[in-house]
C-alpha cells in the first residue's frame, strides 16, 4: 500500500478491534502521518509525525538542560575495532550493524559501523576529557539517528531499521550519584509520556537477560498496545564501571587516587509515536493528543454561494484571533463539502473541529466537536478562548484516563502458572507473578507461554513466603510477563 491522494481515500476500511495490525497500517498511511521509503524497514516521518517528535524533543530537552545535561554531537560512524572493545556490547549489536565499506570508489581500510548506539565512540573520546574529579559529573546527551539492521518483520515506528532518539551518557564520581540519576530521568520520560502523548506505562527493572548489553542494570518503561502486547518505551541503564574499564575512563579522585567513573545511559525513541497512534486512534482514523498535534483546531466554514463572503470573513477573523493562542488551520477549500472535510480531519486526528455557519454567526456562537468523543458543544464567541483551552486540556486528560483504564484491565496478578498461561494466551496483557530469579525458569516460561519478563515492577514487594510461579522455590521478584513487540 502506498500513500493515496485525498481523492482516492475512502477512509479506514478495517475495524481496529477486528484486525489491529491492518488497521494500524491503514491509519498511519491514509492519514498522511508517515509513508514507506524505498529502503526496506526505513520510514518517512511526514509533518504531523515529525511535529510530535519535535514537541517531545523540546519538552524533554528543556528538562535535561535544567538538570545540567549538555548537548553534543558525535560522529555517525564507529570504527569496527572500537565497537569490539566491550565484549557483551559488540556481541549483542554486531548482528544488526549497517556496515560502511567504501568512500566513493575507495575501499576503506577498516569497516565503519553506522552507530546502533554511541557508547563505544563517545567513551573513547570522553576518556580523554576526564582526568580529575573536577571534570565530573559529565552529563552529555545527543539527539540523533541510529541504525539497527533488524531482520524481523518491520513495523512503522515500533520496529524500523533507523530511528531517532536521545542518548544521554553520564559519568559520575561515585556509584550513589549515578544511581540517584535514575528517578530523575525516568520522571522526565514519564511526564513526557503522560503530559504529551497521554500514555501510561509500567516502570520496572529488566532481568539480567533482558538488560542493556554491557550494562549492570536496566530500568524500562513498558507500554501496552491495544492488541495486548507490550512494547518497550524509554529506558535508563546503569552501566557501573563496565565501559569505564573497557575505555579507560579513569580520573584522579579527591585523595589523588586513580578511580574509574560510574556511568549511566538513557534514551527515548520515536517508537513512542507508534504507541500513541495505536492507543488513541479509532475506526475513523488517528486521534492525536492536543499537546503534540501540529494542528490543534481546524475551522470548517459552512456556506452557500450567497453567504460565502460573510461566513468566510468570520472564519478568517477566528483564524487570526485563535491563531495567537492555538495551532489553528482554516479549511477554506471551495471544492469540498463540509462533510467530506469532517472526514478528512477526523482521519488526520485533529483534536477539535469548529463548525461555523451563518446561523452560528447570528447567534454569536460556534460549534466545537471533540475528535475523541465526537461530543458537540455550542461555544459562545465571547468565551471561545477559555472554552477551547479547557476542551484541549480535558481531551489530553481523558485520553490518558482511557488509556490507563485499558491498561488496568489488562494487568493482573497471579501465582498460578496454569492461570497465568491461560491469561497470556486468551487476553494477553501483563501478568505479574512471583519468580525465583533463575534464568532457567525465565527461559522455560518464555518458551512455553511466548511471553517474556518485560520488567520487574519497582516498589512491588514479594509477599512473605511467596513461591516462584514456575518452580515453586522461594520467589525473589514480582515479574511482569507479557508478549511483546
Binding of a copy of itself by 332 (CB under 8 A): no
- Smallest separation, CB 126 to a copy of itself (Å): 9
Binding of a copy of itself by 323 (CB under 8 A): no
In the list 51, 381, 387, 406, the residue contacting a copy of itself (rule: CB under 8 A) is 51
Binding of a copy of itself by 35 (CB under 8 A): yes
- Phi and psi angles of residue 382, each rounded to the nearest 5 degrees, phi first: -65, -25
Nearer of residues 7 and 255 to a copy of itself, judged by Cβ: 7
Cα–Cα distance measured from residue 67 to residue 182, given in angstroms and rounded to the nearest whole number:
13
**Residue for grid cell 549511566:** 264
Nearer of residues 295 and 454 to a copy of itself, judged by Cβ: 295
- Phi and psi angles of residue 380, each rounded to the nearest 5 degrees, phi first: -65, 135
Binding of a copy of itself by 73 (CB under 8 A): yes
In the list 22, 25, 59, 98, the residue contacting a copy of itself (rule: CB under 8 A) is 98
In the list 19, 149, 319, 415, the residue contacting a copy of itself (rule: CB under 8 A) is 149
Nearer of residues 114 and 297 to a copy of itself, judged by Cβ: 114
Contact region with a copy of itself (CB under 8 A), list: 68-76, 223-231, 261-269, 436-444: 68-76
Binding of a copy of itself by 94 (CB under 8 A): yes
Cα–Cα distance measured from residue 130 to residue 127, given in angstroms and rounded to the nearest whole number:
5
Cα–Cα distance measured from residue 485 to residue 483, given in angstroms and rounded to the nearest whole number:
7
CB neighbours (10 Å) of residue 340? 13
- Phi and psi angles of residue 256, each rounded to the nearest 5 degrees, phi first: 85, 10
Could you report how far apart the first and last alpha carbons of the chain are, in Å?
Answer: 22
Strand partners, 419: none
Binding of a copy of itself by 425 (CB under 8 A): no
Nearer of residues 206 and 294 to a copy of itself, judged by Cβ: 294
Angle (CA) 108-110-113 rounded to 5° is 100
Coil, strand or helix: which one is 464? coil
Q: Determine contact, residues 483/428, Cβ cutoff 8 Å.
A: yes
- Give the count of residues interacting with a copy of itself (CB under 8 A): 66
Binding of a copy of itself by 43 (CB under 8 A): yes
Alpha-helical (H) ranges within 349-471 are 358-362, 384-410, 417-426, 439-449
Residues that bind a copy of itself (CB under 8 A): 2-3, 5-7, 32, 35, 37-39, 42-47, 50-51, 53-54, 70-79, 82, 94-106, 112, 114, 121, 124-125, 128-129, 131-132, 134-135, 140, 144-145, 147, 149, 151, 161-162, 164, 294, 333
Amino acid at each position: 500500500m502506498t500513500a493515496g491522494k485525498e481523492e482516492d481515500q475512502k477512509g479506514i476500511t478495517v475495524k481496529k478491534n477486528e484486525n489491529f495490525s491492518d488497521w494500524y497500517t491503514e491509519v498511519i498511511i491514509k492519514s498522511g502521518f508517515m509513508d514507506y521509503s524505498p529502503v526496506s524497514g526505513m520510514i518517512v516521518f511526514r509533518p504531523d509525525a515529525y511535529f510530535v517528535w519535535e514537541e517531545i524533543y523540546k519538552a524533554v530537552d528543556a528538562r535535561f538542560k535544567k538538570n545540567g545535561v549538555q548537548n553534543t554531537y558525535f560522529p555517525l560512524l564507529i570504527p569496527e575495532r572500537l565497537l569490539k572493545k566491550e565484549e557483551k556490547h559488540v556481541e549483542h549489536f554486531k548482528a544488526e550493524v549497517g556496515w560502511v565499506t567504501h568512500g566513493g570508489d575507495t575501499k576503506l581500510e577498516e569497516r565503519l559501523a553506522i552507530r546502533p548506539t554511541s557508547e563505544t565512540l563517545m567513551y573513547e573520546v570522553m576518556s580523554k576529557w576526564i582526568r580529575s574529579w573536577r571534570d565530573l559529573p559529565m552529563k552529555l546527551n545527543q539527539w540523533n539517528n541510529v541504525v539497527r539492521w533488524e531482520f524481523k518483520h518491520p513495523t512503522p515506528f515500533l520496529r524500523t531499521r533507523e530511528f531517532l532518539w536521545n542518548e544521554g551518557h553520564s559519568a559520575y564520581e561515585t556509584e550513589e550519584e549515578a544511581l540517584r540519576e535514575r528517578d530523575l530521568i525516568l520522571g522526565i520520560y514519564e511526564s513526557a509520556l503522560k503530559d504529551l502523548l497521554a500514555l501510561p506505562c509500567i516502570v520496572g527493572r529488566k532481568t539480567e537477560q533482558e538488560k542493556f548489553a554491557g550494562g549492570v542494570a536496566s530500568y524500562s518503561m513498558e507500554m501496552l498496545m491495544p492488541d495486548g502486547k507490550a512494547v518497550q518505551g524509554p529506558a535508563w541503564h546503569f552501566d557501573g564501571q563496565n565501559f569505564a574499564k573497557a575505555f579507560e575512563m579513569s580520573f584522579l579522585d579527591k585523595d589523588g587516587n586513580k578511580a574509574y567513573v560510574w556511568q549511566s545511559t538513557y534514551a527515548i525513541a520515536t517508537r513512542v509515536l507508534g504507541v500513541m497512534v495505536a492507543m488513541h486512534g479509532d475506526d475513523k482514523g488517528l486521534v492525536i493528543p492536543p499537546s503534540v498535534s501540529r494542528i490543534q483546531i481546524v475551522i470548517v466554514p459552512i456556506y452557500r454561494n450567497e453567504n460565502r463572503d460573510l461566513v468566510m470573513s468570520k472564519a478568517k477573523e477566528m483564524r487570526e484571533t485563535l491563531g495567537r493562542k492555538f495551532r489553528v488551520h482554516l479549511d477554506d477549500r471551495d471544492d469540498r463539502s463540509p462533510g467530506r472535510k469532517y472526514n478528512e480531519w477526523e482521519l488526520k486526528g485533529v483534536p477539535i473541529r469548529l463548525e461555523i455557519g451563518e446561523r452560528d454567526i447570528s447567534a454569536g456562537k460556534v460549534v466545537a466537536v471533540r475528535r475523541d468523543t465526537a461530543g458537540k458543544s455550542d461555544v459562545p464567541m465571547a468565551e471561545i478562548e477559555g472554552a477551547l483551552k479547557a476542551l484541549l486540556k480535558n481531551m489530553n486528560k481523558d485520553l490518558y484516563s482511557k488509556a490507563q483504564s485499558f491498561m488496568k484491565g489488562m494487568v493482573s496478578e497471579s501465582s498460578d502458572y496454569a492461570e497465568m498461561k491461560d491469561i497470556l494466551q486468551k487476553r494477553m496483557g501483563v501478568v505479574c507473578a512471583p519468580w525465583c530469579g533463575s534464568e532457567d525458569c525465565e527461559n522455560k516460561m518464555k518458551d512455553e507461554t511466548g511471553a517474556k519478563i518485560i520488567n520487574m515492577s519497582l516498589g512491588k514487594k514479594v509477599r512473605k513466603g511467596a513461591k516462584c510461579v514456575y518452580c515453586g522455590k522461594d520467589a525473589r521478584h514480582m515479574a511482569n510477563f507479557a508478549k511483546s513487540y
